[in-house]
Amino acid sequence: MKKLDYKKEYRDLYLPKRKPMLIDVPKISYVTVDGKGNPNNSVEYQEALELLYGISFTIKMSKMTEDKIPGYFEYVVPPLEGLWWCEDGTINMQNIDKDQFCWKSMIRLPEFVDEKVFNHAKKLLKNKKPAINIDKVKYEVIKEGKCVQIMHIGSYDEEQVSIDKIDAFLKANNLKADFNEQRKHHEIYLSDPRRCKKENLKTVIRIPVK
């Protein structure tokens, strides 16, 4: 059976060009974990990743158990994503003290996952790993709406080059960034930094606009 790969099926969402593009992002359901701190050295961030992938693969591998999920289909676990902002409420990502980061880390869920399926997966993961803080995991449906995005290739610390391109695109097209409590600086990580050189990292950067 062919596996659904969201990156390939929805190329407009996951594989933009290296120049800004306007996109209308629909409602998407995610497993999410909120936290604070520098992702490079934060224990909280590493715990968040363990929770996100734990839930994602518990759901994916349910096909191997007696807990069959109605409507289940084969799929590739989507890439890690993150919403980012600063502790003081600002959004400026340049020259920031990364210890001041607030973040929502998340992984897209397949369409057959509802809150009932999600909560059952939480119970299964907690039974398997009793020490984890399962209460931090949430099921969220997020509708970003109108955004501008770009493919950034290179180090995360050099993202400002791509953000500047987005800013120029906004000015040229009479658009403004539209950050609020729900709409944040959004990144999608298409590369594994443990296996990829910094200069080759691929990251989708998405900014909400009006």
What is the Cβ-side half-sphere exposure of residue 178, based on CA atoms within 13 angstroms?
13
Pairing of strands 185-189, 202-208: antiparallel
Give the separation between CA 201 and CA 199, rounded to whole angstroms: 6
Give the separation between CA 101 and CA 35, rounded to whole angstroms: 9
Domain residue spans in the chain? Answer: 6-208
**pLDDT, position 92:** 66
Helix (H) or strand (E) holding 116: helix 115-128
Helix (H, G, I), strand (E, B) or coil at 4: strand
**pLDDT, position 97:** 79
Domain topology for 6-208: Multidrug-efflux Transporter 1 Regulator Bmrr; Chain A (3.20.80)
- What does each of the 210 residues of the chain score in pLDDT, given as a tens digit? 689 999 999 999 999 999 999 999 999 999 999 999 999 899 999 999 999 999 999 999 998 888 889 999 999 999 999 999 987 766 666 667 788 889 999 999 999 999 999 999 999 999 999 999 999 999 999 999 999 999 999 999 899 999 999 999 999 999 999 998 889 999 999 998 888 999 999 999 999 999
**pLDDT, position 43:** 94
Give the separation between CA 87 and CA 27, rounded to whole angstroms: 26
Q: What is the model's pTM?
A: 0.94
